[in-house]
Amino acid sequence: MIIFKSINNLKKKVNFSKNIGFVPTMGAIHEGHLSLIKQSKKKCEKTVVSIFINPKQFNNKFDFRNYPRNLSKDIKLLKKNKVDYLLLPKYDELFRINLKKKIKIKKKDRILCAKYRPGHFEGVLHVINQYLNLIQPKLIFLGEKDYQQYYLISNFIKNKFITKSYLCKTIRHNYLYALSSRNKLLNNKDLHILESVSLIIKKFYFSLKKKKKNIKNLNHIKKLLKETGINLEYLEIRNKINFSKKISKENFKIFIAYYFKNIRFIDNF
């Protein structure tokens, strides 16, 4: 695995006219990230993984400071999984260039995480834009766990770059919660709370699929969620194609964001 500390160097050394797959991450690599890497290795000749903890996408200093970091362990894992290139860009390279036009999320998209974390997706899209302005991989691999992020990135890069997005399904622990770097901040007992939350949402998902429950009334589910000890930020059902509130049994997704021990978690079913 060749490690690059600048996107420009990566651009010089790697032929991006070939079939290159790109997996952007914030590190603390886990099986969720590795599943994206496996897809990229399947679909592409070479795979680039990036690790960059983007301060602009955190709205809270505590969250940024506490975000798990373990670069040497990440490097070992990525080597073991035969990643070809690792990109570790510097803040300056991504942020010193002022974009002519600031990236803005459309009003209709300011929902779910975009509503509760102002500036978050602008930060995400800024970094994706800087990457793709310099390197244009064939495919960018994104996880369904961050489905709103996938939706916004896909729309943002469509018609702007040759790169296409590729959605990879959410990898879950045996206890049903989605794998996430932030899980590393919890102990085993805490993780059972995440399990309870996931179980409630999954059950709800299946009862909606079978039309056993009224899609509009979330009060009972919100009550059950609060009883687990979490601090619910939002629970919403949206159309998974266009994120509108026009939903049917076939096209809905349940989105949740919550805090537990002051750590923010998101998931969708």
Which residues participate in catalysis according to the annotation? 33
Q: Is 26 in the site for ligand AMP (CB under 6 A)?
A: yes
The answer to whether the beta carbons of residues 142 and 156 sit under 8 Å apart is no
- Residue 74 in the binding site for ligand AMP (CB under 6 A): no
User: Is 47 an interacting residue with respect to ligand AMP (CB under 6 A)?
Assistant: no
Q: Which residue number, 109 or 222, has a Cβ lying nearer to ligand AMP? A: 109
- Nearest residue to the partner ligand AMP, using Cβ: 143
Q: Is position 48 an interface residue for ligand AMP (rule: CB under 6 A)?
A: no
Please, which residue, 190 or 218, has the CB nearer to ligand AMP?
A: 190
Nearer to ligand AMP (CB atom), residue 183 or residue 196: 183
What is the layout of strands, in order, in the sheet containing 263-268?
231-239, 252-260, 263-268
DSSP 177: P
What is the spatial distance between Cα 73 and Cα 144, in angstroms, rounded to a whole number?
25
CB of 215 to ligand AMP, least distance (A): 26
Q: Is 32 in the site for ligand AMP (CB under 6 A)?
A: yes
**Can you tell me the distance from the alpha carbon of 252 to that of 237, in angstroms, rounded to the nearest whole number?**
6
By the rule CB under 6 A, 33 interacts with ligand AMP:
yes
> Is residue 146 a contact point for ligand AMP (CB under 6 A)?
yes
Among positions 211-240, residues that touch ligand AMP (CB under 6 A) are none
Task: Report if residue 83 touches ligand AMP, rule: CB under 6 A.
Answer: no
Backbone angles phi, psi at 155, to 5 degrees: -65, -35
Q: What is the SS3 assignment for 171? A: coil
SS3 62: helix
Nearest Cα residue to 58 out of 118, 104, 5, 4:
118
